[in-house]
Amino acid sequence: MHIQSQNRLLLGPGPSSVHPEVLKAMATPLVGHLDPYFLQVMSDTQGMLRKVFQTDNQLTLAMSGTGSAGMETVFVNLVEPGDRVIVCIAGVFGERMKDVAERSGAEVITVETPWGRAIEPDQVEKALKATPGVKAVAIVHAETSTGVRQPLEEIARLAHDYGALFIVDAVTSLGGIPVEVDKLGIDACYSGTQKCLGAPPGLAPVTLNARALEVVRNRTKKVQSWYLDLNMIANYWGEDRFYHHTAPISMIFSLHEALRLLLDEGLENAFTRHAQNGELLQSELQKMGLELFAAEGFRLPQLTSVVFPDGVNEGQLRKQLLEEYGIEVGGGLGSLKGRAWRIGLLGYSSQKRNVVLLLQAMKELLGQA
Q: Which is nearer to a copy of itself, 47 or 309 (CB)?
A: 47
Q: Which is nearer to a copy of itself, 144 or 209 (CB)?
A: 144
Q: Which is nearer to a copy of itself, 222 or 287 (CB)?
A: 222
Beta carbons of 22 and 261 less than 8 angstroms apart: yes
Q: Which is nearer to a copy of itself, 102 or 284 (CB)?
A: 102
Q: How many CB atoms lie under 10 A from the CB of residue 209?
A: 22
Pairing of β 107-112 and β 84-89:
parallel
Q: Which is nearer to a copy of itself, 2 or 218 (CB)?
A: 2
Which has the closest alpha carbon to 25: 252, 246, 195?
252
User: Nearest approach, Cβ of 75 to a copy of itself (angstroms)?
Assistant: 9
342 is in an annotated binding site: yes
Q: By CB under 8 A, which span of 8-16, 113-121, 266-274, 292-300 interacts with a copy of itself?
A: 8-16
Ranges within 261-320 binding a copy of itself (CB under 8 A):
none
User: Nearest approach, Cβ of 156 to a copy of itself (angstroms)?
Assistant: 25
Beta carbons of 128 and 134 less than 8 angstroms apart: yes
How many of the chain's residues bind a copy of itself (CB under 8 A)? 72
Q: Does the footprint of a copy of itself cover residue 251 (CB under 8 A)?
A: yes
Q: By CB under 8 A, which span of 125-133, 241-249, 296-304, 357-365 interacts with a copy of itself?
A: 241-249
Ranges within 39-98 binding a copy of itself (CB under 8 A):
40-41, 44, 64-69, 71-72, 76, 96
Q: Which is nearer to a copy of itself, 239 or 323 (CB)?
A: 323
Q: Does the footprint of a copy of itself cover residue 129 (CB under 8 A)?
A: no
Q: How many CB atoms lie under 10 A from the CB of residue 255?
A: 27
User: Nearest approach, Cβ of 304 to a copy of itself (angstroms)?
Assistant: 17
DSSP code string of 35-65: -HHHHHHHHHHHHHHHHHHT---SEEEEESS
Alpha-carbon distance 289 to 212, whole Å?
Answer: 47
Q: Does the footprint of a copy of itself cover residue 10 (CB under 8 A)?
A: yes
Q: Is 311 helix (H, G, I), strand (E, B) or coil?
A: coil
User: Nearest approach, Cβ of 282 to a copy of itself (angstroms)?
Assistant: 22
Q: Is 218 helix (H, G, I), strand (E, B) or coil?
A: coil
Q: Is 68 helix (H, G, I), strand (E, B) or coil?
A: helix
Question: What element of type H or E holds 280?
Answer: helix 267-287
340-344, strands of its sheet edge to edge:
291-292, 303-307, 340-344, 330-331
Pairing of β 188-190 and β 165-169:
parallel
Q: Which is nearer to a copy of itself, 227 or 298 (CB)?
A: 227
Q: Does the footprint of a copy of itself cover residue 241 (CB under 8 A)?
A: no
Alpha-carbon distance 227 to 312, whole Å?
Answer: 46
Alpha-carbon distance 192 to 74, whole Å?
Answer: 13
Q: Does the footprint of a copy of itself cover residue 245 (CB under 8 A)?
A: yes
Ranges within 168-227 binding a copy of itself (CB under 8 A):
192, 194, 200-202, 222-227
Using the CB atoms, write b or e for 153-166: b if 16+ within 10 Å.
eebbebbbebebbb
Q: By CB under 8 A, which span of 6-14, 134-142, 290-298, 354-362 interacts with a copy of itself?
A: 6-14
User: Nearest approach, Cβ of 180 to a copy of itself (angstroms)?
Assistant: 25
Name the binding residues for substrate: 342
